[in-house]
Structure formats: C-alpha cells, structure tokens
Amino acid sequence: MAEPLLAVRGLRKHFGGLVATDGVDLEVAEGETLAVIGPNGAGKTTLIGQLSGDLRPDAGTIRFAGADVTALPAFARSHRGLARSFQITSIFREFSTLDNVALAVQAHAGHSFRFWRPARAEAALREPARAVLEQVGLGGRGDVAAGTLAHGEQRQLEIAMALATRPRLLLLDEPVAGMGLDESVRMVQLLRALRGGHTLVLVEHDMDVVFALADRISVMVYGRVIATGSPEAIRANPEVRRAYLGEEVSA
Amino acid sequence: MTSRRRALTMAVALAALAAVPLAAAALNQPFYLDLFRRIMIFAIAAVSLDIILGYGGMVSLGHAAYLGIGAYAVAIPALHGLHSAWLQWPLAMALSGLAALVIGAVSLRTSGVYFIMITLAFAQMLYYVGISIEPWGGDDGMRLPGRSRLGGPLDLGDPHVFYYVVLAILAVLLLAGERVIHARFGTVIRAVKSNEARLQAIGVASFRYKLAVFVLAGAVCGLAGALLANQTEYLTPSYMHWTRSGDIMVMVILGGMGTLAGPVLGAAAFLLLENVLSAWTVHWQAILGPLLVLVVLYARGGLWSLVPGGGARDG
C-alpha cells in the first residue's frame, strides 16, 4: 500500500502540566476527508497547530508527502503543500479581499525581493487570486477591505487564502464556527465541492457538517484519539457515544 | 485616496519646499534656508523610521543610532583628509546598514516591549562608545574639518546648493518609497504588521523580509546622518542619544504613521514648533507634549490626515 499523504506517529504536546496531545497517531490518504471531533479542550486545535507547524510538538513525528516535516516551520510546510485555515478568523484586515488572496498567490510565486513593480499590476498574481475568489463565492467582493466583510465571508476568505497556495492538504479548523444557518449551508456546499480535488483534515463541532463531509472520523478526548472509523462505525461506537456524542445529546 | 491624488499632493509639497530658498531670499531671512534644510534632513530620517514603524509595525526606539553612524562616517574620513561625498555617503549607508543587520538579527527575534528595549539598548551602547572615543571628539564632540565634497558645481558650502541636494535626496526617497511600498516587497512588509502569523501560514518566511527592511531603513537613516553632520558641521555622540530616537519617533507619529508624506510633515511641525516655542521658553517640550497627546487622541492618522487631499494611509 502506498504511503499515506499525512502520517502522524506518537505526537505529544504539553503546556505546563496540561497534556494537550497525548500520543496521537493519524493517517490521511490522498483524496480523503478526515474529520477530527471531540469535546471542548480535547486538543483538536493544538493538533492542527502542530500539523501546520505553528506549534512544535514535544515528541512524535509528522510525515507529509513522503518526508519528515516535524522540524519544519509553518512557512516551509506551506511550500510542501500544507495549508490551514484558522478557527479564529485570521486575515489581513486592512488589505482588500483580493489583495489577501493575491498575497497568498505571491507567497508561492518566487521570492518577494521585488522592489519596483506594483504588486497590484502583476496579472500573474491577480488572476489566479480572482479565480479563487470566484471559486469560494466572493467573486464580487474583491475590492472590499477584508476587515469589513461579514463574518461568514471572512471565513470564506480564509478558505480562499488557503486554496490560493495550491495545497495538497487543507487543514480546516472549525470552518463553520460562529456562522448563521445560511452561511453554514453555503460553507458546507463549498467544502463538499473541494472534497473531490483535495485532501481535507477537518476539525469541527457541528455534527451535521461532520457527517455530511467526512469519509472517516477520528474522535479525540483528553488529547488522545479514542476511535477512528467510518461515520457509521463512529455513530455506533459505544465508547464514543459515552465520551462525546452522548454529552452532546444530553447538553 | 487614489494614488493619483497622493502623487499630486506630494508634488505640491515638494514644489513648496523648492520655493523656500526664494521666499527666504525675498524676506531677507536666510535663517529659514537653514531651518528647512534641517527639517528635510530629519524628514529623511523620519521617513526611514516610518517604513519599519508605520508600515512594518516594528517599533524601534534606537533609530538615532544610524543617524550617529552616518555622521561619524563623514567626520572620521574628513579627519584623515578624505572629503569626497562619493566615499563618505555610501560609507555612511553601508556602515549603518551593517549595524542595522546586526541589531536586527538579534532584536527581530523578539517582539513588543522586548523589541523596543533591545533596539534602545543597542543605540545607547553605541552612544556610550561614541562618548568614550576621545580622538573622535568623545563626549564634547568635534568640529567637522569640512563639508563633504560632491565635485563639480555642487559645492555644499553654498547654502542653496546644499539645500537643493537635500531636497533632491528627499524627493528620490519619497518616489522610491512609493514604489517599494506597493511592490511585492512592500506588500509583504505591510502584511507583517497586519498579521504575521497568517503571513507565515501562507508560506512567507517573514523574518528575512523584516531584516531586509530593517537594514534598508538603517541605511537611509545613515544617509540622513551624513547630511546632518554637514548641516551642523559638528560631530557629537548625542546624535545617537535615545532622546533623539524619541524625537524622530514623535515626528513620525505627529505627522502620520504608515504614510510617506506624514513623517515629512511631522518633521516640519516638530522642528518649527521647537524653533518658535524655544524662543519663549526652554521648556518648550512641555507644550509639545500635550499637543502630541491631542494628535494621538483626536487625529489618529496624524497631521497628514487633517490635510485636504492627504489623509488615508497607503493601505
């Protein structure tokens, strides 16, 4: 069997006395969508942070596309084909929506030690950026300051910036967090469209979203993966029901 | 505001500066030539600080270090009979750029208050080095043996020639700054200020760009230092004192951070106020202080944001 696109072994991370990631093993095959679910404080965002390179693990290895990337910083992983969206919207608020995406294109179009030609005049940056904005449904919003976009639109912009780096794997940290119903439905449509051509790792609270998108689900509790399997198997797993789904129902 | 209107405002401002010598002659007040030349020299320093402070979000409180290095790069060769500006000025830029490379390589690994403190500490260190070297004037400083020589008809001993040389350098700096800020490089620098974590997540190794712009700003401020030594015809380590760094920062904030014209306006406002108020009282900064508070509270974009046709940042 071919090596999975992403393979995590024995990943461990603690903050002081708190063990946020406690020996996590994960595999993601090219083209699949893996959802990571778990109650608040289970360590999902910490896991994403380690996968993207924003956090350094204390132990364990992360292999991506056949190479060990455990020691690589975030910008280097981006060039290997890893892209992330942030749970708390992280955009260039003062930049226009199109400028945000064009900068993501620029980051992958050679170095930026270019001092004279206006970046806004570079068709090689603007056109791919426009295409991605169109793809995520922000086609008409390119000239608006990103900070003034509606919350849902900012979440779409997050996805657009990740997509503009032409990733092999997209790490999505709660893409529908804080969204209204309409916005949420649009986002699920967008993510469903992405599923075909991209490998996704999705951290999400909303079970409807998870069951609509995931090929496989991993359940995290207290920093450990307690179960991984198909949506049906996870739904039926008694341990999972006790640890997580049951809480949701009773809550 | 559109870049077209911004360019127009900039052109008007430069034209006004170009007319100062004529006005000074008409009013028979040659002193204003001297004052506005000084303003432009500090404007060059303030613009260089604003490129890292206003655009890049790097709050350096040690920028005057490069002013001093630039001044020493004029004075020390002059002591040894080397007067060519073509030697002294590139040397000023190279040495202050090198100093910025070392200071930046260390301090840019920190952020926030730590960054402010480390840049301040480096500048104070250089200040005390300057104080302790007696052959180069030590604490008292020393007279410049002579102004830099550009050759040909460009004699800096002629106050008008010197004035227009400084104006030309300022104009080139503003034009080049306008290009750089909107090129790929400047876009990355503005993004550092906006959201550095996001910048790294999309694949930009931000440290090398921060260091590069830090060096660039240091080199430009070094050139301002070379001009300042010629302006005062005097070398003193106090060019590097931290209060001088503070003055330059006040010029930037007063005029408008994150704009190119703002620091020029700020330098003019600061030095004109100093000139007018210090005639009344040696405690003129007691008046400047509240004024700065008012600007920060009620005109967040600085004085430049109050100018019709000025205003908006180069976002």
Find the mean pLDDT for residues A84-98.
Answer: 95
The pLDDT assigned to A1 comes to 55
CA nearest to A163 within chain B: B202
Which secondary-structure segment (H or E) carries A75?
helix A74-80
Residues near B128 by Cβ (< 8 Å), separated by ≥ 6?
Answer: B237
Residues of B in contact with A169 (CB under 8 A): none
Cα angle, residue A212 at apex, residues A209 and A214 outer, rounded to 5°: 95
Judged against a pLDDT cut of 80, whether residue A47 lies above it is answered with: yes
Q: What is the 3-state secondary structure (H, E, C) of B168-198?
A: HHHHHHHHHHHHHHHEHHHHHHHHHHHHHHH
User: Hey, are the CB atoms on A94 and B198 less than 8 Å from each other?
Assistant: no
Sign of torsion over alpha carbons A85, A86, A88, A89 = negative
- How far apart are the CA of A55 and the nearest CA of chain B, in angstroms? 12
User: In chain B, which residue ranges form alpha helices assigned H by DSSP?
Assistant: 3-26, 31-50, 64-79, 85-107, 112-132, 159-182, 184-201, 206-232, 242-255, 261-280, 285-298
Please indicate if any CB of chain B lies within 8 Å of the CB of A112: yes
For residue range A222-233, what is the model confidence (pLDDT) as tens digits?
999 999 999 999
For residue range A119-145, what is the model confidence (pLDDT) as tens digits?
999 999 999 999 999 999 999 999 999
pTM here is 0.93
Minimum-distance CB partner of A75 among B185, B186, B204: B204
Contact call for residues A98 and A126 (beta carbons, < 8 A): yes
Q: How far is CA B296 from CA A212, B301, B305, in A?
A: 51, 8, 12
Residues of B in contact with A78 (CB under 8 A): 200-203
Q: Which of B202, B220, B259 to mutate to test the interface with A (most CBs of A within 10 A)?
A: B202
Minimum-distance CB partner of B188 among A83, A112, A122: A112
For residue range B84-120, what is the model confidence (pLDDT) as tens digits?
999 999 999 999 999 999 999 999 999 999 999 999 9
Low-confidence stretches of chain B (pLDDT < 50) are 1, 314-315
Sign of torsion over alpha carbons B284, B287, B289, B295 = negative
What one-character DSSP code corresponds to residue B51? I
User: Hey, are the CB atoms on B201 and A78 less than 8 Å from each other?
Assistant: yes
The pLDDT assigned to A39 comes to 85
